[in-house]
Amino acid sequence: MSIQALSWALAQRVGSHTDKHVLIVAASYARHGDVAPLPTVQKIASCAEMKERSVMSSLRRLKTKGVLTFSIEQDEDGSDRINLQFGNREG
């Protein structure tokens, strides 16, 4: 977990408590740098106590707002892993 990433996520104005919650949970996976270590959609949903569909909707809204970008990769077991890249964290 990166304290810098969590502090950055807390400082973002995203316009929705649901999107903010998903952003904070996603930021908790960040390591050094801006790239998170590929959490699964299921893991984010479980940690956020949300449905997977709601998590994906929030991630799409956050992407549209330029807060983060993501791509989805599928594991051998069929799990969808999310490659997250957070927005500008300077300043």
**C-alpha separations of 43 from 39, 48, 51, 77 in Å:** 6, 8, 11, 14
pLDDT in tens, 3-61: 888 899 999 999 999 999 999 999 888 765 555 557 888 999 999 999 999 999 999 99
Q: How many CB atoms within 10 Å of residue 62? A: 24
pLDDT of residue 88: 62
Q: How confident is the model at residue 84 (pLDDT cuts 50, 70, 90)?
A: confident
Instruction: Give, in degrees to the nearest 5, the angle at Cα 10 between 9 and 13.
Output: 85
Domain coordinates of the chain in residue numbers? 3-86
pLDDT of residue 91: 40
pLDDT in tens, 56-80: 999 999 999 999 988 888 888 888 8
Q: Which of 59, 52, 50, 57 is nearest to 27 (CA)?
A: 59
Determine whether domain 3-86 maps to CATH 1.10.10.10: yes
